[in-house]
Amino acid sequence: MNSILDLEENINKLKKEDGDSFRLFNSIFHVSSASGELKIPSSFGEKVRSYFGNKDESGKIIESKNEVIERIQTQKIVKTYNKWTGEGSLFNSLRAIRPGMKPQERSKEHEKVQEYIEKSKENCDFCQAEKYTPEDVFGRVQGKHCITGANIAKYDAWNSMVFFKKHNPLDFTQEELSDYIETGFKWFKKANNHDKQFVSPLFIWNCLQKAGASQIHGHAQVLMTKSVHYARTQFLSKNFRSYMQLNGRNYFKDLYNAHKALGLALDGDVNGFASLTPLKEKEFIIISRDNPSTSDDVKEAIYRVLRCYIDELGVNSFNLVISCPSFGETFLPYIIRIVDRGSIFKPTADIGAMELYGSSVISDDPYNVIKAVNEFKHG
């Protein structure tokens, strides 16, 4: 099976088999690797075995102390860098080969999460959004499974919430997720109709506190800005134009094709892939010329990724963003990004100084992510 640790070998293989794809990949990415070495004092050996030893189904460590020490004394680091966006990631062999969460562990975590969410229903304002949240000056947008309301502490002049009718943010069907997105995009039109200066939309969903949500109840946020896009989207637009001017090609199409050439693309007609330079764990990117609110294929792809993350990979906190072209703009595509933010029961933060000011340090192998998503069967 492919692994991020074999990325350089896969790139060299691509060079021999598909020169055009190889050149395309190298026009966007730089990849390197190195080995980090360390020595384990004898006094630390048993603790190292308990920390890093592989376990069987019962939780018993199945490696000897010497086997574990030998495995971790030399660690391969793979470094990926996107020359155009400045995004980069470090993949550590010790982290990447860790066994995933076993079905039994995933089931226990799921039960704990459900209990935690259920307890939070008491005195939840968002469960009665029409009574206990403000509304926009033009009123609320009513969906079948959600309703909008103004954000009481606004990010920007136009910033509202899409409150899901279900309290549990991890419990949603394809129909419900589609309605959340469609309702958000209806709000964009309402806001623009009210104030024509505001033309650049952004849809975000911070699921649970580890992802930045202030409330457990399921909700997304919708924003509109004027003059220029929000900073990250504006930066992508600038890079897109520079790439087009220098290479005469579509950056986002090439980005997708570079991932596809290395076996990281989503099966089907939607251009999605597990990122080689993830901002954090399991980042998945979908690029679409079609508006997600009107494209059933795009909404199905988003649903597929989210349900795989929650049901198969044990994700319980995530960020989802839909970066949109400005109203009337045909240059930028819609860019959907989804990233795992870690277990809500782990007190450690998943983002530190490296992610803020260096390169992202990544545990999950993108090849494991794309395999899980492509094999996932949902109802």
pLDDT of res. 96: 55
Neighbours of 357 (CB within 10 A): 7
> Token pair of 145, please?
């499974």
CATH architecture of 105-375: 2-Layer Sandwich (3.30)
pLDDT of res. 379: 64
State phi, psi for 178 to the nearest 5 degrees: -60, -40
pLDDT of res. 197: 96
Provide the residue-wise pLDDT of the chain in tens; the chain has 379 residues: 789 999 999 999 999 999 999 999 999 999 999 999 999 999 998 998 888 887 777 778 888 999 889 888 999 999 999 999 999 999 997 775 555 556 667 788 889 999 999 999 999 999 999 999 999 999 999 999 999 999 999 999 999 999 999 999 999 999 999 999 999 999 999 999 999 999 999 999 999 999 999 999 999 999 999 989 999 999 999 999 999 999 999 999 999 999 999 999 999 999 999 999 999 999 999 999 999 999 999 999 999 999 999 999 999 999 999 999 999 998 899 999 999 999 999 888 999 999 999 999 999 999 999 999 999 987 6
Query: What is d(CA 171, CA 166) in angstroms, rounded to the nearest whole number?
Result: 8
pLDDT of res. 55: 79
pLDDT of res. 286: 98
- Give span(s): CATH 3.30.428.10, the chain: 105-375
